[in-house]
A and B are shown apart, each in its own frame.
Chain A
Amino acid sequence: MKFDCIIIGGGISGLTAGIRCVKEGLHTAIISSGMSALHFSSGSIDVLGYINNKVVYKPFEALDTLTGTIAQHPYAKCGKALIVEALQFFKQECETQNVYLFDNENLNHFHVTALGTLKPTYFSQRSVFNEDVYNRFKSMKKIVIVNFEGYRDFHPQLAAAQLSKHALFANCEIIAKSIDMPQLQDLTRHPHEYRSIDIARIFENEENVYRIADAIRLAAEGADFVVIPAFMGIHNFNQIHNILQSRTRLLIYEIPTLPPSILGLRIDNALKSRFAQLGGVYIAGDKVVRAESSNDVVQAVYTANHPENPLEAKFYILSTGSFFSGGMISEFNNMYEPVFKLKLHYEPERNKWYSPQFFYSNSHPFLEYGVVTDENLRPYDSKNNIIQNVYCSGAILAHYNPIREGCGSGVAISTAYKAANQIISLYKLMR
């Protein structure tokens, strides 16, 4: 098959680039092997959360500090104006699928994790952050954290204990409660077997939502905030949120659970639907195993399902992610990028790949390893030549640390947007 652009990797970065390309009229395909990291994400979009272990409040101002110290940082290659544009693009595309992302203007806001810690982030879904949450926050007295009896991937007492240590909640009463959903429990199955996805499906049934609302109202009398694990449906989440809030007259707030993350799943669904709606070709469950190139130009890629059948394109975007999703492979004492065998930035000595303490404040060095690119995000091959028609985006890029800097999704979106921009302008020149 022949395309204008083939994107390898169907996560947040690949989908953003795909939507951008297909919107500009490029015949675009995304090849994805297995579901992406969005299924494990918080569902909020982080732009820049920390510098030197300090929380960042003004992410766009702090960008200069960051790129000033790390010249090779992907953000430095994008530039502030493009980052802002990319984020607005992403927000608008999500909105077409009824996923509304709220920001705190130019400031970061915080979302609560399942452990009760606060994480700085830039965009959140309306069940996590919106104007009401912002206004209510100033005068809150009582927070009730609710879990569903038998669901074992969330511990409200733990979250409450951690949260109450925080200075923001010094004058606030935080209570953990469990609510029973007897009418929903199938007798053939033990409630401990429920996963987030099972409960989210229970919420999708409107009749159940009314019953749950009544149970929440009883448990959370007088609360300023009601915190529940992110269960408010996979498709009808806006409607469910509205019903719950109007029936309980309480402000209901979702926190992401252990995987699978319903908040992340909503973004994944939105981006995939948008890409398909615009006419993009999404090839799921297949893996690019090799590429064919001549004179530093990639001609075709081959997949595991069709080892004999080339997929050809004028341009390629590599957004296969980091080690976890197979974008890079680490062996006993070396690392490589499996599709194009690109030049990687990494420390050859294995004992320098990681920090001895798991929760070390400077994070692990391997998170900064990845593909080396020029300022246009084009990678180098093993002979140090630039590959002319390949661009890289997202977690496969080197020289940034998504954990330490709290910038994973921001980098994924910005670099995808930048890569797509390059391709679009070249494509228009060629015509």
Chain B
Amino acid sequence: MTVESTAPRKPRRSSGTKRTSARRTPQQQSSEPQLVQLLTPEGERVEHPEYEIDLTPEELRGLYRDMVLTRRFDAEATSLQRQGELGLWASLLGQEAAQIGSGRALHDDDYVFPTYREHGVAWVRGVDPTNLLGMFRGVNHGGWDPGTNNFHLYTIVIGSQTLHAVGYAMGVAKDGADSAVIAYFGDGASSQGDVAESFTFAAVYNAPVVFFCQNNQWAISEPTEKQMRVPLYQRAQGYGFPGVRVDGNDVLACLAVTRSALERARRGEGPMLVEAFTYRMGAHTTSDDPTKYRADEETESWRAKDPILRLRRLLEREGHADEAYFTGLEEESEALGKRVREAVRAMPDPDRLAIFDHVYADGSALVDEERAQFAAYQASFADSADSAEGGK
């Protein structure tokens, strides 16, 4: 096998679970860079010498459901933006396998540091999807308590969160805890100094962190050639930890590789870089126009590798799901869409004095003074107006 990977061999797990399908080996030949793949675009299981996975039919259906519901949520958010209910939306369309696969590899006590696009990871962490929409609607800058689901707030400044993840992981190690930390970032973000510094710190302090880069081929209009000249996962080697490229549209491979990387971190063997090779099928955000820089043929060729379709083919091929299952899931999707739509439309604007909330944990005389002045100013409208228009 010539799969390029600087990853260590995973210790064999003794598995009592019955394997769910026959595997083909070796990997299918393709013109793409070599990557870890366990499920072909045609939905066939393949072997990989270093990464194994045994999933029950129920677990496979679970991954499928996660991806379908995440995509439905994402589509709903996109249309809510079009309807003016959200100011902006960053769609994950095409990246469901990378997010669900890596997300389902996490333990409850692991900690996640996302970018602004990790809606699928949020889903598997149990963050209510409607919570993700507040910042895109413009009613808050976060909207959930990171401690509840060990899922940090979205970070818009690219790359910053990788350092936070490493610091958190350093803390985990100091505490002697056996949990791990995962930091998500994009191919474009990999150019930021913060990301390079996070690699350095992680290596030097042997931090239990997995760097999970979703290489979706684009950073707004800039293709990966404008960010790097060697495959991204190889960068890890220069810092002294392993890196591996995984088929980011293959949920099984993303799960297996991330699980292995997290286990390694938990065993105290330090950081690892996982590059999920995937594709951003939609626009960068709803403000972006990819026709300015991207060829339709490219998008079409990736559409053929759709992560959801691929798993569906496996489920059908192996007879793990029948028509009733798919219909039921379709209904569940519709219900989710409806719930999200209604929740967003009902989401109130914050009180105007909320501007002054939480500026300091200890409070601030200056903030109090400005709040009082602003409140008095607002009240002056309510007094002078016939209606209560100016107040709130």
Query: Do A and B interact with each other, yes or no?
Result: no
Chain B interface (Cβ within 8 Å of chain A)? none
Chain A interface (Cβ within 8 Å of chain B)? none
